[in-house]
Amino acid sequence: MNGERGANKEALFVSGHRACHGCGLALAVRHILKATGPDVIVVTPTGCLETFSSPYGYSPWRVPWIHHLFENAPAVASGIAAALSAQKRNNVRVVVIGGDGSTFDIGFGALSGMLERGDDVLYICTDNGAYMNTGGQRSGATPTYSSTTTHPVGRKSMGKPQLKKDLPAIVADHGTPYVATASVAYLKDLRKKVEKAMTYHGPRYIQIDTPCPSGWGFSSELALEIGRLGVNCGLVPLFEMENGSLTRVRKIRKKLQVTEYLKAQSRFKHLLQEDGSEYLKELQEIADQNIAKYALITSS
């Protein structure tokens, strides 16, 4: 490993891990830790991040890191926070970095409990919209009409018919003081949000859109470009909610049609065939509703 070279010098998540080329998640983690600084304990549930960052005997983590199970990271984090409080290690904070499968689906009960109790944990969901570590199975975070291995496109299927679970809203409704969405396409914005989250005490939630070349079906050098398309078409709204109120959004300067985003990824390619037009219309409506709901475009 070239741990001491170049960009790695100050990094708390260094090279040598086994993420795919162009992995949005690996990039997100490095910038999350840049924003938190070194005095954090990171909890990671089972998933891509756990697998590519922890082959036994090697570790890119320069902060204490723990993986326990798939569905209990929020509770493990609560236990660590309780121990830190008991030991009066007040300078150390707890951060969960977990995928959407763990967060939206199997670990949702534990997450809800952690939020309701008000435990001092920053929960970051790196959202790539499916169970990508195992080949791309449908999760509650999978976007509408995306094709996955457990809800594939076929003669009688256009992929996932349901809406993506609106987890930021559900988290905010727990009374969570800080909720934000971010994208690896806007790293400065991402770091700012993590920094702001660190100024709060109690539970905090940040959901980061992390484009996945192998799962979404795009060339690995395009991860940030795909991320930007998602944000600028309105399907990936970036906002902050503080104490229940929407306090800031990232404005869309030049609105793109959803087709610009969808056609760049093979998980949506069926929508661009002849019989896809009504489904495309639905997705455009979802994007337009987001734009209206979060006021993503400044009307002049």
Partner 1 sequence: MLEQTMSNVKVVEGSEAVALAVKGCRPEVISAYPISPQTHIVEWLARMMANGEMDTEYVRVESEFSAASVISGSSAAGSRSYTASSSQGLLLMTEVLYCSAGMRLPFVITGVNRALSAPITIQIDHQDTISLRDSGVIQFYVESSQEVYDTHIAAFKIAEDPQILLPVMVCMDGWILTHSYERINFIEQEKIDSFLPPFRPANFLDVNNPKAWGSYSEENVLMEFKYSVQQAMQYGKKRITEIFAELARITGRDHGGLIEAYRTEDAEVILLAMGSVVGTIKEAVDELRSIGKKVGLVKIRCYRPFPHEDIWEAIKAAKVVAVMDANFSMGSEGALGMDLKSKLCGMRDTPLVFDFIAGLGGREINVKTVRRIVEKAEEMLNKGLPLSESYWVDLNPEILP
Distance between CA 132 and CA 90 in Å, rounded?
A: 36
Among 11, 113, 144, 282, binds partner 1 (CB under 8 A): 113
Interface of this chain with partner 1, residues 217 to 276, rule: CB under 8 A: none
Among 63, 222, 224, 297, binds partner 1 (CB under 8 A): 63
Among 2, 3, 21, 109, binds partner 1 (CB under 8 A): 109
Cβ neighbors of 298 (< 8 A, separation 6 or more) are 251
Q: Judged by CB, which is closer to partner 1: 72, or 210?
A: 72
For residues 207 and 97, the answer to whether their CB atoms sit within 8 Å is no
For residues 249 and 295, the answer to whether their CB atoms sit within 8 Å is yes
Q: Does the footprint of partner 1 cover residue 120 (CB under 8 A)?
A: no
Minimum CB distance to partner 1, residue 83 (Å): 4
Instruction: Locate the DSSP E strands across 65-199.
Output: 65-66, 93-99, 121-127, 153-154, 157-158, 178-183
Q: Reduced to 3 states, what is the DSSP secondary structure of residue 131?
A: strand
Among 7, 83, 169, 295, binds partner 1 (CB under 8 A): 83
Nearest to 208 by CA among 70, 66, 98, 63: 98
Q: Judged by CB, which is closer to partner 1: 112, or 247?
A: 112
What tokens were used for 277?
């037009």
CA dist 177 to 63, 115, 183, 265, Å? 26, 10, 20, 35
Stretch that binds partner 1, among 55-63, 152-160, 184-192, 228-236 (CB under 8 A): 55-63
Stretch that binds partner 1, among 72-80, 137-145, 225-233, 241-249 (CB under 8 A): 72-80
Q: Does the footprint of partner 1 cover residue 84 (CB under 8 A)?
A: yes
Q: Does the footprint of partner 1 cover residue 16 (CB under 8 A)?
A: no
Q: Reduced to 3 states, what is the DSSP secondary structure of residue 100?
A: helix
Nearest to 161 by CA among 150, 147, 148, 145: 145
Distance between CA 13 and CA 21 in Å, rounded?
A: 16
Stretch that binds partner 1, among 47-55, 134-142, 173-181, 250-258 (CB under 8 A): 47-55
Among 76, 197, 198, 296, binds partner 1 (CB under 8 A): 76
Q: Judged by CB, which is closer to partner 1: 73, or 130?
A: 73
Cβ neighbors of 277 (< 8 A, separation 6 or more) are none
Stretch that binds partner 1, among 66-74, 211-219, 254-262, 268-276 (CB under 8 A): 66-74
Residues interacting with partner 1, by CB under 8 A? Answer: 38-41, 43, 50-51, 54-57, 59, 61-69, 71-72, 74-80, 82-87, 92, 109-110, 112-113, 116-117, 119
